[in-house]
Chain A
Amino acid sequence: MAPRIGVYVCHCGGNISEVVDIQKVMESLEGPVDVVQIKDHEHICSEVGQKLILNDIKENKLDRVVIAACSPQFQGITFMKTMEHAGLSPYVLEMANIREQCSWPHYDYPQEATKKAIDLTKMSLAKARLDIPLEKKVIPIGKRVLIIGGGIAGIQAALDLGDAGFQVYLVEKDPSIGGKMAQLSKTFPTEDCAACILSPKMADVPNNPNIKLMTSTEVKDISGYIGNYQVTVTRKALYVDPDKCTCCDKCVEACPVTVPNEYDEGLTTRKAIYLPSPIAVPHSYILDDKTCLGLFPLACSKCKEVCEPNAIDYDVYPTEEKFTVDTIIVATGFDIYDARQKRVYGLGKYENVFNALEMERMLAYAGEGKPLKDIGNRIAFIQCVGSRDEQVEHEYCSRVCCMYATKLACLLNRERPGKEIYIFYTDLRAYGKGFEEYYKRAQSEGIKYIRGRVAEILEDPKTKKLTLRAEDTLSRKIIESEFNTVVLSVGLIPNEGTRHVAGLLGLSRSQDGFLKEAHLKFRPVDTLIEGVFLAGTVQGPKDIPDSVAQAGAASSRAISLMNKGVYEAEPITAQIDESICIGCGMCADVCAYKAIEITVVDAHTGKKTAVVNEFLCKGCGTCAATCRSGAADVIGVSDHQISKMIEVM
């Protein structure tokens, strides 16, 4: 059956009709049998105009509407609503943009503007003939959120969402939440004790009835889409029942195994059974089966023998758990750059070279009056180790190092007077609130800032003192000076967990390896995958306030999606003609949304074709233009439609 098309040409109160010859446009459209009516109107977007359309659709049984008026980006939504009121799909409406594209820019060429208006209207007509009455796809969406990563960003997001009444699954691979912030001594620029401000927040997590905390847990698999993400997690065996453990420490005394303590960056040791940190949440001992003398078969069992509450059970195994969530927040954090790769600085080789996180731990101990070692009086910081360095392929600035070095320097300086502390920097970046003031204060307290990259460090084999060589680029002098201790201000890098989660969810990464936001300015916590958000350093280096702010933003974005109860997906999506598709996979390769999978569709013949997940697809059409066989197309902007538009030319 031929379509019944109604065409409206709008005068736009003279905006169009003073340049474009409306009568001519209308005459040019006469002829084709499927053009049932051609009308003009002074203001088709007015209430009267819309009523006219409504009425015509009913009276003349129109099933397609072409409106030659302003830009669809201007009044498109208005007319789409009119279509809906009339009981038609809003996707059988086409607009010819004869105002922004004709009368306005070509006001001094009325004849040419009229010709162009005729062509554009004919093109819209050609497209309209092949329009399909599409409907928006509605998916119910619940109130369940998965948060991956229990650092400060993950904790903040979990608390925000939990407080707002959403069901939160907080998954953390380590035995305790807290992340990197839990290792810090104090925070810049206020010098609050990190553990003191963090631990109340950590404690709030298990106390929140809406948060299910899963530590020592890793995400194994995620499939599905917004409103229906199927999550599989692996929960490691803990061997210690946190409900029974009283933290009496007897097992630790009994354990014969001593290994480096991760929480202290290996500067101290722990046993194979241990408390992850003094502020650990959940506050429970765990048994590290990788360093234990042996569980299968049991080699020691001394800890179990001394455990009075009988909290230890060796006969437990990793388990898998599956659950469904509606949205996901990725907060997998960062790693510090492994400065051993910068061999000129001698980390791991020279006794008195440390990275900044090691210095954080040393200061934390010193603060408690239990210094780990004497670090001497002359201390140098080297900035931008693994940041802004093309040689190690980290061109970006890690944003926090200038300030944390300043903080560490101030703390060291104050800890015991008489120190001489130098910070060798590339550029000093004190951009945040209170940062510049903090930097000034550090200078007034005697910290010396030298602009220049350190070329190399040499260790005196006997005294273990370190000689630094650098050029002071301000005074143009070569500096060669001896120090007791050197601290490397290492940069932030994307971690393994992030790579893993990005792979599972199909999230794209920026050139620096951190996860890519949907839009750097306007959608900074969204990803291209609907219902997946980013929080904290997973998106790029940032300090604690920024991580917390972003976590809040991510939770509010998730809430605004979930609170509606339904998610409406645009019906303009890619479509694969399975009878033509040969399964070469190029469409899947170019899809930014991982919306296409190559699937065996006929088990008997083994025929593979591309299959589009219409909830993930955004209808960009890159797959269709990449497809050689013509199997991939976009419903609503089909190749056939565009070819008909070209034929008008």
Chain B
Amino acid sequence: MDLQTKLRQEARKLLEEKLVDVVIGYEDEGAPLRTTPCFITDPQDVDRLVWNPFCDHNLARYLTARKDKAAVVAKGCDTRAIVVLINENQIERKNVNILGMPCGGIVDRKKIYNHLKNGDVREAVLKDKVITVKGLEFTADLMVDDFLADCCLSCRHRNPVLCDVQIGENLPPLDVKDEYKKIKQLEESTSEERWEYFRKTLSKCIRCYACREACPLCYCQQCFTDQNFPAWVGKTTDISDTIVFHIMRAFHTTGRCVDCGACERSCPNNVDIRMLTKKIAKDVKELFGDEAGLQLEEKAPLSFYNEDDPQDFIK
């Protein structure tokens, strides 16, 4: 039985037995290379659920501020986000039923558009590991594995870290040579080069805050960018304000970001947001040995300390 069928079965069971009020999953709305989050409350509707490499949203985003009991379809990274949310009092463990999905990686459709030189994809059919894309003037067979999102290429948590039901067998760990290769390359360049790199990528930002909205851990009722007394970040598109927004958003993910890549995929202007969040994750691991979202009841690295934490940067 394939995972999608298994998933639907499990969802039907949960709804029929009234173990949950809603199943949050993905459905196919017909747009090529995409799925949409869906909220299923009627067991009759479970066949709307799909599971494929286009299931790219982090559905943990929809678990906060709920009062009902929800089942959620969650990839490895999504389950880590759920762990963080539980640790930060945003979800009660008993109110969430995690349908854990071992995940071989999801497709970054921007990579496909780039490959097709922005040819307008009208139709996409997935069979096994091949996506057949059709446009007005072209047809192409593409391999899923050639278009996986960057975060999936260095993923070390493909299997759920916490779940109530796991759909399918664990996947073997990915052979990740150097998770932080791109970060390290940038670190090794000069200060001027790094400044140029970030100035360039961040100048594309239009402050639409899609990254913030896609992030399951950006759950503040009022974001620092929206505050007035004091207004820490100007609301202008002065590059200084934009950079400060990104510095501080990244800083706020310290020890919390699970590198699901939702921010970067949601960005309409291809800003390299993960180059900031991943850098912090790397530093947190190097400095404090912590990794976000792997354990319940674990304190975030900034609300914890060791007396012998590194301090060679302090005079």
Q: Do B89 and A643 touch (CB < 8 A)? A: no
Q: Do A628 and B224 touch (CB < 8 A)? A: yes
Interface readout for A570-588 with B: 1 if CB under 8 Å, 0 if not?
Answer: 0000000001111111100
List which A95-128 residues lie within 8 A (CB) of chain B: none
List which B81-131 residues lie within 8 A (CB) of chain A: 88-90
B189 CB, min distance to chain A CBs, angstroms: 30
Interface readout for A608-632 with B: 1 if CB under 8 Å, 0 if not?
Answer: 1000000000000000001011100
Q: Is B67 an interface residue (CB 8 A)?
A: yes
Option from A584, A630, A644 in Cβ contact (under 8 Å) with B89: A584
Q: Which residues of B contact A642 (CB under 8 A)?
A: 230
Q: Do A640 and B229 touch (CB < 8 A)? A: yes
Q: Do A590 and B303 touch (CB < 8 A)? A: yes
Q: Do B303 and A629 touch (CB < 8 A)? A: no
CA distance A323 to B151 in the complex (A): 58
Q: Is B156 an interface residue (CB 8 A)?
A: no
Option from B67, B88, B220 in Cβ contact (under 8 Å) with A606: B67
Q: Do A582 and B220 touch (CB < 8 A)? A: yes
Interface readout for A200-230 with B: 1 if CB under 8 Å, 0 if not?
Answer: 0000000000000000000000000000000
Residue of A nearest to B252 (CB): A628
Option from B221, B222, B303 in Cβ contact (under 8 Å) with A589: B303
Q: Do A586 and B303 touch (CB < 8 A)? A: yes
Q: Which residues of A contact B307 (CB under 8 A)?
A: 511
Q: Is A375 an interface residue (CB 8 A)?
A: no
Residue of B nearest to A584 (CB): B88
List which B195-244 residues lie within 8 A (CB) of chain A: 219-224, 227, 229-232
Option from B221, B230, B300, B303 in Cβ contact (under 8 Å) with A582: B221
Q: Which residues of B contact A590 (CB under 8 A)?
A: 303
Interface readout for B60-87 with A: 1 if CB under 8 Å, 0 if not?
Answer: 0000000100000000000000000000
A646 CB, min distance to chain B CBs, angstroms: 9
Q: A580-B221, A629-B221, A629-B222 are in contact. Are A644 and B88 (CB under 8 A)?
A: no
Q: Do B302 and A580 touch (CB < 8 A)? A: no
Q: Do B89 and A626 touch (CB < 8 A)? A: no
Q: Which residues of A contact B302 (CB under 8 A)?
A: 586, 626
Q: What is the interface size of chain B, counting residues whose CB is below 8 A from a CB of the partner?
A: 22
Q: Do A630 and B222 touch (CB < 8 A)? A: yes
Q: Which residues of B contact A580 (CB under 8 A)?
A: 220-222
CA distance A179 to B133 in the complex (A): 81
Option from A579, A585, A630, A640 in Cβ contact (under 8 Å) with B88: A585
Q: Which residues of B contact A249 (CB under 8 A)?
A: none
Grouping DSSP codes into helix (H, G, I), strand (E, B) and loop, the A interface class, with mixed when no group exceeds half, is loop
Q: Do B230 and A629 touch (CB < 8 A)? A: no
Q: Do A582 and B219 touch (CB < 8 A)? A: yes
Q: Do B227 and A598 touch (CB < 8 A)? A: no
Residue of B nearest to A610 (CB): B89
B304 CB, min distance to chain A CBs, angstroms: 7
Q: Is A472 an interface residue (CB 8 A)?
A: no
List which A159-218 residues lie within 8 A (CB) of chain B: none
A509 CB, min distance to chain B CBs, angstroms: 12
Q: Is A241 an interface residue (CB 8 A)?
A: no
Q: Is B299 an interface residue (CB 8 A)?
A: yes
Residue of A nearest to B67 (CB): A606
Q: Is A288 an interface residue (CB 8 A)?
A: no
Q: Do A639 and B230 touch (CB < 8 A)? A: yes
List which B299-315 residues lie within 8 A (CB) of chain A: 299-300, 302-304, 307
Q: Which residues of A contact B300 (CB under 8 A)?
A: 586, 589
CA distance A335 to B190 in the complex (A): 57
Q: Do A582 and B227 touch (CB < 8 A)? A: no
Q: Do B89 and A583 touch (CB < 8 A)? A: yes
B313 CB, min distance to chain A CBs, angstroms: 18
Q: Which residues of B contact A639 (CB under 8 A)?
A: 230, 232
Residue of B nearest to A642 (CB): B230
A594 CB, min distance to chain B CBs, angstroms: 14
Q: Which residues of A contact B219 (CB under 8 A)?
A: 582
CA distance A227 to B302 in the complex (A): 33
CA distance A640 to B229 in the complex (A): 6
CA distance A72 to B252 in the complex (A): 35
Q: Do A644 and B224 touch (CB < 8 A)? A: no
Q: A584-B88, A584-B89 are in contact. Are A589 and B67 (CB under 8 A)?
A: no
CA distance A606 to B65 in the complex (A): 9
A63 CB, min distance to chain B CBs, angstroms: 20
Q: Given A629-B223, A630-B232, output 7 extra A-B contacts at Cβ < 8 Å.
A: A581-B221, A585-B88, A628-B220, A630-B222, A642-B230, A643-B230, A644-B230
Closest 9 A/B residue pairs (Cβ):
A643-B230, A589-B303, A584-B88, A629-B220, A586-B303, A640-B230, A628-B252, A580-B222, A640-B229
Q: Chain A residues in contact with chain B, CB under 8 A?
A: 511, 579-586, 589-590, 598, 605-606, 608, 626, 628-630, 639-640, 642-644
29 cross-chain CB contacts under 8 A: A581-B221, A582-B90, A582-B219, A583-B90, A584-B88, A585-B89, A586-B302, A586-B303, A589-B299, A589-B303, A589-B304, A606-B67, A608-B89, A628-B220, A628-B252, A629-B220, A629-B221, A629-B222, A629-B223, A630-B227, A630-B232, A639-B230, A639-B232, A640-B229, A640-B230, A642-B230, A643-B231, A643-B232, A644-B230
